[in-house]
């Protein structure tokens, strides 16, 4: 039997090796949670690609990005670029062969064998298995055509193949069709891309909260299958700038990026676990699972503050506590308080009552996340009603007049 040797969730089980092994890329992978045999894992393989003006290696977050390989049939010598798999072999007998089959189906059951290795002398245990990219390309262009990844052509989105590793007594000839149900092995769904992104996310605003900064972004959409937000925070040089540099020229790799697991689909991105009182320069990145990124040319700065300091500064206790910091809804109600409420007697009475009561209630709101969510919902509803009151009233008047006209016309008719 063949197992994937990845008991440790943080263990990288598939690496791309280039330059005859001189450079190594730990590939992003989605591991199967199935407990059955023939588990299928997905691996994302980045390949070099270029438009007329953009080399995608400049926009990869891999540290050795300049060594990402091309994968064109016949252009690379044997052993130049290969995939390294960490497998565990349970050898069957004295004449056991490790076989690898290939399929281009999305959910394959049948594979065509492209190579075999005699393994009786190694015995059971963990093994590192190399599969040459050239062998995949040169085996059968009808099965998989690597010319789709020509470096100088416009990059394609992505292609995929599946590799099936299994053991068998005796050699299985190349070209033999095997059914995965007849063997116990492991399948790697290999997704490959040399894509280039030509649009960028725009960083429009950065507001402060307690141990966090909140970014508002738009202008860029990525397929949800590959979507991931990252951020680079720099407290050593707290500056704003707008530069059209590449990740390569900025010297940025994945080790200097933070994964934003709590991003939201409405364009609001929260950058948490920051130090209050420290100024940060923020640049946002949107990267796919191949490691290719599009990022904001804007670099903006901000300083998170303790919630109590924000409450005292903004004097809008309930909504500041509910939204956890600065927010356009909070700003709206501050302005509405100053320009509308404070201009009437009853409004002044309400403001006086509010500032006598709110400071005592606010700590309770901060301790109850569910209550913060309720405050936010109330804030959004009131914001909509007040902000668009004139429009709502205008629509109501129009509907009333139309209805009145219909009634009058019917009376006249009959």
For the ranges 16-20, 128-132, 143-147, which has the lowest average pLDDT? 143-147
Residues 231-254, buried b or exposed e (16+ Cβ, 10 A)? bbbeeeeeeeeeeeebbeeeebbb
Is the Cα dihedral 311, 315, 317, 323 positive or negative? negative
Mean pLDDT of the chain: 75
Burial of 103 (0-12, 13-18, 19+ CB in 10 A): buried
pLDDT in tens, 352-386: 777 667 766 777 777 777 887 888 888 888 888 87
Between residues 139 and 300, which one has the greater pLDDT? Answer: 300
Between residues 92 and 281, which one has the greater pLDDT? Answer: 281
For the ranges 87-101, 262-276, 320-334, which has the lowest average pLDDT? 262-276
Q: How far does CA 314 lie from the centroid of its chain?
A: 34
CA distance 404 to 138: 78
Return the number of other C-beta atoms located less than 10 Å from residue 319's C-beta. 22
Residue 321 is predicted with a pLDDT of 73
| Average pLDDT score over residue span 67-92 | 74
pLDDT band (50, 70, 90) for residue 89: confident
Percent of the chain with pLDDT over 70: 71
For the ranges 39-48, 158-167, 335-344, which has the lowest average pLDDT? 335-344
Per-residue CA distances from 13 to 30, 38, 253 (Å): 11, 16, 20
For the ranges 45-49, 304-308, 346-350, 383-387, which has the lowest average pLDDT? 304-308
Residue 179 is predicted with a pLDDT of 92
CA distance 168 to 98: 7
Q: Identify whether the C-beta of residue 97 lies closer than 8 Å to the C-beta of residue 172.
A: yes
Between residues 151 and 171, which one has the greater pLDDT? Answer: 171
Between residues 173 and 238, which one has the greater pLDDT? Answer: 173
CA distance 218 to 141: 41
Indicate whether this model's pTM tops 0.85: no
CA distance 195 to 51: 9
Is pLDDT at 256 greater than 50 in this prediction? yes
| Average pLDDT score over residue span 332-352 | 76
pLDDT band (50, 70, 90) for residue 77: low
| Average pLDDT score over residue span 317-343 | 75
Is pLDDT at 413 greater than 70 in this prediction? no
For the ranges 82-86, 233-237, 255-259, 309-313, which has the lowest average pLDDT? 309-313
Domains of the chain: 2-193 (no CATH), 202-302 (2.60.40), 307-390 (no CATH)
Residue 361 is predicted with a pLDDT of 74
Residue 8 is predicted with a pLDDT of 46
Fill in the DSSP letter of residue 267.
Answer: S
* 270 beta partners: 214
| Average pLDDT score over residue span 110-114 | 89
- DSSP element (H, E) containing 352: helix 345-366
Is pLDDT at 9 greater than 50 in this prediction? no
CA distance 218 to 214: 14
pLDDT in tens, 198-250: 667 777 777 777 777 877 777 666 555 555 677 777 777 777 777 667 788 77
E strand map for 260-391: 268-271, 280-287, 293-295, 298-302
């Amino acid at each position: 039997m063949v197992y994937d040797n990845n008991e440790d969730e943080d263990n990288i089980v598939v690496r791309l090796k280039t330059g005859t092994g001189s450079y190594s890329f730990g590939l992003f992978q989605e591991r199967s949670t199935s407990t059955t045999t023939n588990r299928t894992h997905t691996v994302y393989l980045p390949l070099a690609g270029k438009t007329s003006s953009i080399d995608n290696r400049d926009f990869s977050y891999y540290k050795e990005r300049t060594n990402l390989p091309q994968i064109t049939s016949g252009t690379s010598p044997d052993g130049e670029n290969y995939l390294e798999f960490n497998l565990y072999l349970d050898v069957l007998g004295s004449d056991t062969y490790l076989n690898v089959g290939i399929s281009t189906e999305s959910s394959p059951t049948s594979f065509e064998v492209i190579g075999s290795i005699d393994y009786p002398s190694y015995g059971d245990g963990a093994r590192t298995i190399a599969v040459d990219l050239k062998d995949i390309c040169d085996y059968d262009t009808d099965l998989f055509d690597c010319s789709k990844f020509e470096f100088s052509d416009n990059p394609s989105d992505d292609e995929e193949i599946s590799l099936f590793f299994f053991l068998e007594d005796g050699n299985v000839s190349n070209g033999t069709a095997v059914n995965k149900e007849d063997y116990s092995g492991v399948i790697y769904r290999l997704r490959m891309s040399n894509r280039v992104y030509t649009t960028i996310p725009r960083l429009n605003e950065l507001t402060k909260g307690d141990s966090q900064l909140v970014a508002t972004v738009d202008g860029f959409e990525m397929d949800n299958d590959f979507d991931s937000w990252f951020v680079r925070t720099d407290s050593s040089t707290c500056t704003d700038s707008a530069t059209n540099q590449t990740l390569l020229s900025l010297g940025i790799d994945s080790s200097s990026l933070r994964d934003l697991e709590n991003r939201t689909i409405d364009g609001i991105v929260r950058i948490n676990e920051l130090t209050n009182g420290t100024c940060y320069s923020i640049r946002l990145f949107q990267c796919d699972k191949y490691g290719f990124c599009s990022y904001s040319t804007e670099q903006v700065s901000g300083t998170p503050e303790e919630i109590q300091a924000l409450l005292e500064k903004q004097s809008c206790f309930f909504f500041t506590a509910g939204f956890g910091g600065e927010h356009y809804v909070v700003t709206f109600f501050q302005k509405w308080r100053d320009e509308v409420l404070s201009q009437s007697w009853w409004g002044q009475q309400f403001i006086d009552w509010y500032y006598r009561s709110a400071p005592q209630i606010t700590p309770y709101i901060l301790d109850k996340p569910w209550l913060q969510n309720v405050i936010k919902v109330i804030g959004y509803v009131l914001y909509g009603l007040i902000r668009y009151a004139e429009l709502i009233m205008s629509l109501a008047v129009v509907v009333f007049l139309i209805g009145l006209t219909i009634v009058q016309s019917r009376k006249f008719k009959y």
